[in-house]
């Protein structure tokens, strides 16, 4: 399947993307997870049916896309409106979507706010979005503000760390909460690195992605968003992700189970199952995409 690189202009620079297939085919927008890049789908897409045109974007501050401007906390809302800029620029009116982790949460928010655009949605192992109790609002707002200011002070007048290529690969293999295979790490790392003057490499990911990106919302607001997702939804979660055992994440999963257009499926694997073992989810997505029903 042929691939092509494209750049989509946005007010702060550009959003980089990689396409697969025939532009005249059925459109599928693919959105990666936190601190990853669009090549997280490189091993999954070849296993999906032909007849689709896949657009895999680097979210702002990831891969080869421009960073948002400095000075503010990045949230799901910022990424969601970035998607709207992409589809408006491309003049896409209807499409399918696959989102992993952060990308799934962004896609879910987009589907709720702009339901006219989404034909079908696949959410891959999303531990959220989560809500907070109203009585915790002020404390939560204080924390996200302090975390941003502390990060800015820590990174002021200092460039990102520099690594050899082997060291960069080793970081992905040893420090990432979700373990990657060596093959998966090699797929993912290249697009997240920039070459320094000394021949070493630095990660391009915006440092603010180390902070919380969740919207501060009450349980009722969270429910209003979830029930506003009207397109057929395939919600895949995995057996080997400790985040899925948290009470707030379990509560979120129950919300998705409760909407009639969603099918919730558990598969064996860790958070990066789509990259480490794409064959475990490819058939689920293939069947879902060719189904005309809201639930399989």
The CATH code of the domain that includes 59 is: 3.40.50.1820
Query: Is 35 inside any structural domain?
Result: yes
Is the overall model pTM greater than 0.85, yes or no?
A: yes
Query: Is 180 inside any structural domain?
Result: no
269 sits in which H/E element: strand 262-270
The pLDDT, as a whole number, for residue 294 is: 39
Query: Is 185 inside any structural domain?
Result: no
> Tokens 């990911």 map to which residue?
205
Query: Is 139 inside any structural domain?
Result: no
Query: Is 191 inside any structural domain?
Result: no
Task: Extract the tokens encoding 142.
Answer: 């204080």
Task: Say whether 256 sits in a helix, a strand or coil.
Answer: helix
The pLDDT, as a whole number, for residue 133 is: 92
Q: Which residues of 237-258 are buried (b: 16+ CB within 10 A; e: fewer)?
A: bbeebebbeeebbeebbebbee
Which residues are catalytic, by number? 101
> Tokens 């907070």 map to which residue?
132
Residues of the chain below pLDDT 70: 292-296
Query: Is 232 inside any structural domain?
Result: yes
Instruction: Summarize pLDDT for 195-215 with one digit per residue, the tens.
Output: 998 889 999 999 999 999 999
Task: Extract the tokens encoding 69.
Answer: 């401007």
Name the CA dihedral angle for 49, 101, 40, 296, rounded to a multiple of 10 degrees.
-10
Cα distance between residue 108 and residue 229, in whole Å: 7
The pLDDT, as a whole number, for residue 106 is: 98
The pLDDT, as a whole number, for residue 293 is: 46
Would you tell me how many other CB atoms lie within 10 Å of the CB of residue 50? 10
Query: Is 54 inside any structural domain?
Result: yes
Q: What residues contact 51, with CB distance under 8 A and at least 6 apart?
A: 25, 26
Query: Is 161 inside any structural domain?
Result: no
Instruction: Summarize pLDDT for 78-91 with one digit per residue, the tens.
Output: 999 999 999 999 99
Q: Indicate the number of domains in the chain.
A: 1
Q: Which residues of 186-211 are buried (b: 16+ CB within 10 A; e: fewer)?
A: ebbbebbbeeeeeeebbbbbbebbeb
Residues spanned by the domain of 92: 3-134+209-290
């Amino acid at each position: 399947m042929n691939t092509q690189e494209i750049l989509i202009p946005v007010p702060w620079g550009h959003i980089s993307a990689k396409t697969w297939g025939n532009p005249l085919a059925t459109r599928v927008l693919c959105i990666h997870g936190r601190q990853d890049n669009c090549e997280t789908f490189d091993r999954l897409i070849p296993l999906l049916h032909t007849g689709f045109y896949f657009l895999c974007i680097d979210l702002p501050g990831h891969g080869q896309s421009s960073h948002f401007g400095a000075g503010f906390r990045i949230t799901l809302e910022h990424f969601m409106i970035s998607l709207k800029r992409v589809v408006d620029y491309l003049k896409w009116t209807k499409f399918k979507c696959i989102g992993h982790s952060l990308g799934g949460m962004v896609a879910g928010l987009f589907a709720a706010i702009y339901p006219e655009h989404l034909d079908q949605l696949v959410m891959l192992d999303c531990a959220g979005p989560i809500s907070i109790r109203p009585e915790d609002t002020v404390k939560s707002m204080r924390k996200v503000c302090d975390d941003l200011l502390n990060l800015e002070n820590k990174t002021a007048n200092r460039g990102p760390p520099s690594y050899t290529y082997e060291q960069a690969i080793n970081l992905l293999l040893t420090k990432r909460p979700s373990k990657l295979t060596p093959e998966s790490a090699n797929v993912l790392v290249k697009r997240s690195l920039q070459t320094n003057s000394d021949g070493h490499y630095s990660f391009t990911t915006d440092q603010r992605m180390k902070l919380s990106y969740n919207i501060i919302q009450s349980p009722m607001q969270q429910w209003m968003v979830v029930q506003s997702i009207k397109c057929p939804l395939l919600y895949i979660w995995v057996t080997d992700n400790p985040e899925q055992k948290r009470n707030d994440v379990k509560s979120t999963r129950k919300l998705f189970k409760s909407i009639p257009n969603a099918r919730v499926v558990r598969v064996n694997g860790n958070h990066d199952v789509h990259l480490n073992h794409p064959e475990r989810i490819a058939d689920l997505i293939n069947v879902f995409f060719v189904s005309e029903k809201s639930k399989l």
